[in-house]
């Protein structure tokens, strides 16, 4: 089977959960051929993964150093009309149907389709904004220029001529799903979308308010919202990485019968069960430095643990490169202020995370937002008992085989840790239960097998 695997900003150019999962999926299925369409910024990004022979990476750069060569021909009137409708739909309320129609027209307009450029799209945006009933601050010519420029780039993957595929698998909603929409509309190619986080939800949080004037931000987010809902409506199947995310997918219009959950998995051989307790009570946290991980709460909670149990240690494992170095420093400073600096160790990135779990009494996660974190299922697979905040997919991952506490609550987090540190029996019981649960539900084999099954289902009845 020939699969088009669509990524944006992840595999093979970045580390992180989605890339790990792409690598697992490709490696486990050598009988398929994967055409990886990697949407990236400049096209000069370095590959961080060794791509197996049965996969081919095609770069889809949105911001190459030299601007895309323009064909001399003017865009066809119907293409210009569709682009005008698309831009207007971003500004008018209830633009959904217009957006859908226009996007489809652009996708199926034929090879070498060129969007109108110059002042025309800028004028369309300004006109539409002036006539919008919702009011709001005025859109300036500069705002409209920025929007037009970004949208022209964002739509590149839609106009990309992909090779024929038996199935298009987008590894996220949003821009990565554009080539899948195009293949679906052009050739009826079955379309599968996996979501580890919720793409649209992350766009709201990432497109920071201070980067763009309000009209720019509102229009760009409207584009992402309409795109994501179009993808949800059009996909043959949407696979959520956890049941929690399904709430957004259901809310945005994916019918229950086209929605499935497949959990991430890890390799049991890579994370063997830890048998012996470490010499001193040791809490570990693994991940990347990011404010959503709320390490302040973790450090405050540990300070409380440390007061009651001065021999306890906290190891914070994660490279400064894998996140925000300013945030890391703030966390280190906080540990100092709370008088726990000597007991908190920042190890940086480590080559083998299994070694970290081998010397851990308890694994802790303090995030305020999560999908279905690998760090958590790795700890469970290693048989290390977990204490974590009940956000996102975490409660369903833990499923009773660990302690779940509210987010942003150092007292509750500390109480959970102390309970486990004080009670070896409970620790071993929960650790064992976690490993059993992970072996049953969260193995690579199970995850990849479920996807292979989905591939077969979606392509069944189509000529090979």
Q: Is 231 among the residues that bind other proteins (CB under 8 A)?
A: no
Could you tell me if 279 and 413 are in contact, meaning their C-beta atoms sit under 8 angstroms apart? no
Question: Rounded to a whole number, what is the largest CA-CA distance in the chain?
Answer: 75
Applying CB under 8 A, which part among 37-45, 69-77, 122-130, 346-354 lies near other proteins?
122-130
Cβ at position 431, least distance to other proteins in Å: 26
Distance CA 140, CA 145 (A): 9
> b/e per residue, 113-146, with b = 16+ CB within 10 A?
bbbbeeebbbebbbebbeebeeeeeebeeebbbb
| CA-derived radius of gyration, the chain | 24
Q: Please, what is the minimum distance in Å from the beta carbon of residue 142 to other proteins?
A: 4
Comparison of 87 and 122: residue with beta carbon closer to other proteins: 122
Q: b/e map of 281-295 (b: 16 or more CB within 10 Å)?
A: bbbbbbbbbbeebbb
CB atoms within 10 A of CB 201: 16
Tokens standing for 187? Answer: 């050739």
Task: List all residues 6 or more positions away from 355 whose beta carbon is below 8 Å from its beta carbon.
Answer: none
Q: Are 313 and 282 in contact (CB under 8 A)?
A: yes
**Quick one: 75 or 190, whose CB is closer to other proteins?**
75
Among 45, 96, 117, 277, binds other proteins (CB under 8 A): 117
What track of x and - describes contact with other proteins for positions 72 through 111 (by CB under 8 A)? Answer: ----------------------------------------
Q: Which region, judged by CB under 8 A, interacts with other proteins, from 42-50, 71-79, 98-106, 200-208?
A: 200-208
Shortest distance in whole angstroms from residue 158 CB to other proteins: 21
Q: Which two tokens stand for residue 312?
A: 């306890």
408 binds other proteins (CB under 8 A): yes
Closest CB 267 distance from other proteins, rounded Å: 31
Q: How far apart are the first and last CA of the chain?
A: 8
Instruction: Say whether 366 sits in a helix, a strand or coil.
Output: coil
Shortest spacing between CB 341 and other proteins, in angstroms: 28
Site string for other proteins, 202-221 (x = CB under 8 A): --xx---x---xxx-xx--x
391 binds other proteins (CB under 8 A): yes
CB of 135 to other proteins, least distance (A): 7
Cα separations in angstroms, 296 against 163, 222, 350, 390, 407: 48, 33, 22, 17, 11
* Residue among 67, 118, 133, 310 that touches other proteins (CB under 8 A): 118
Give the count of residues interacting with other proteins (CB under 8 A).
45
Comparing CB distances to other proteins, the nearer of 51 and 261 is 261
Q: Which residue, 430, 396, 458, 456, is CA-closest to 264?
A: 396
**Which residues contact other proteins (rule: CB under 8 A)?**
117-119, 122-123, 126, 129-130, 135-145, 148, 200-201, 204-205, 209, 213-215, 217-218, 221-222, 225, 247, 251, 292, 368-369, 389-391, 406-409
């Amino acid at each position: 089977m020939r699969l088009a695997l669509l990524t944006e900003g992840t595999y093979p150019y970045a580390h992180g959960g989605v890339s790990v999962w792409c690598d697992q999926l490709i490696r486990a299925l050598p009988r398929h051929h994967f055409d990886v369409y990697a949407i990236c910024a400049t096209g000069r990004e370095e590959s961080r993964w060794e791509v197996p022979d049965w996969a081919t990476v095609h770069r889809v750069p949105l911001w190459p150093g030299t601007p895309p060569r323009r064909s001399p021909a003017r865009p066809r009137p119907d293409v210009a009309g569709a682009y005008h409708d698309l831009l207007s739909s971003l500004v008018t309320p209830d633009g959904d149907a217009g957006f859908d129609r226009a996007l489809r027209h652009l996708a199926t307009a034929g090879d070498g389709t060129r969007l109108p450029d110059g002042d025309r799209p800028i004028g369309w945006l300004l006109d539409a904004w002036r006539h919008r009933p919702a009011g709001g601050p005025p859109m300036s010519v500069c705002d409209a220029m920025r929007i037009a420029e970004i949208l022209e780039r964002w739509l590149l993957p839609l106009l990309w001529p992909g090779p024929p595929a038996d199935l298009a698998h987008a590894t996220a909603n949003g821009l990565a799903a554009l080539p899948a929409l195009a293949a679906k509309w052009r050739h009826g190619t079955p379309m599968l979308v996996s979501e580890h986080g919720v793409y649209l939800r992350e766009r709201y949080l990432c497109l920071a308010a201070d980067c763009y004037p309000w009209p720019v931000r509102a229009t760009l987010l409207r584009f992402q919202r309409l795109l994501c809902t179009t993808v949800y409506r059009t996909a043959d199947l949407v696979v959520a990485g956890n049941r929690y995310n399904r709430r957004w997918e259901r809310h945005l219009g994916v019918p229950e019968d086209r929605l499935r959950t497949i959990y991430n998995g890890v390799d049991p051989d890579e994370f063997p069960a830890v048998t012996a307790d470490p010499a001193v009570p040791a809490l570990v946290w693994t991940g990347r430095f990011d404010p959503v991980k709320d390490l302040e709460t973790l450090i405050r909670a540990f300070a409380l643990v440390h007061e009651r149990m001065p021999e306890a240690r906290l190891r914070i494992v994660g490279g400064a490169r894998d996140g925000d170095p300013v945030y890391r420093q703030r966390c280190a400073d906080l540990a100092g202020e709370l008088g726990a600096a000597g007991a908190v160790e920042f190890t940086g990135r480590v080559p083998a995370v299994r070694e970290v779990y081998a010397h851990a009494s308890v694994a802790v996660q303090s995030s305020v937002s999560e999908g279905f974190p690998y760090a958590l299922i790795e700890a469970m697979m290693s048989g290390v008992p977990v204490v974590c905040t009940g956000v996102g997919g975490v409660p369903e991952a833990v499923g009773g085989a660990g302690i779940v506490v509210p987010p942003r609550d150092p007292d509750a987090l500390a109480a959970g840790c102390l309970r486990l540190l004080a009670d070896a029996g409970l620790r071993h019981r929960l650790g064992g239960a976690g490993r059993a649960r992970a072996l049953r539900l969260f193995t690579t084999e199970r995850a990849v097998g479920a996807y292979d099954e989905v591939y077969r289902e979606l392509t069944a009845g189509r000529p090979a």
